[in-house]
Amino acid sequence: MGKFFQLLGVIFFLLILAGVYFYFADPIGMRATLESVSTSSETGTTQKDAHPYLSDGQENALRAVGVDPSKLPSSFTAEQQACLIGVVGEARANEIKAGALPTPVEIFKAKDCL
């Protein structure tokens, strides 16, 4: 029974060491991602209108997934609109055009349309 607790203690210690390593070394770049999300949500309410055809909620949703709304085109071609309809469906595309917030999955699917 003593060996079991020793093994459990070693595993727990290794998990703590791995957690400390990932926190300080940041080998996969999560800290920058987390900081940009918190920064964009703080500054999203004070920024000027980055895109004239997007609602504030749509701009904040785009910023939350790392897309700069000011770099989006101000008009969309027929091919881009057809691509969006093909990706999310015609009903959902009309909802998004009317001002509904796109989900992160929809944003990632539709990014190739731009």
Of 92, 58, 51, 87, the residue nearest 72 (C-alpha): 51
pLDDT attached to residue 91: 93
- Please report where in the chains the tokens 């701009």 appear, as a residue: 59
pLDDT tens string 72-104? 877 888 898 899 899 999 999 898 888 888 888
pTM: 0.48
pLDDT attached to residue 98: 85
pLDDT attached to residue 11: 97
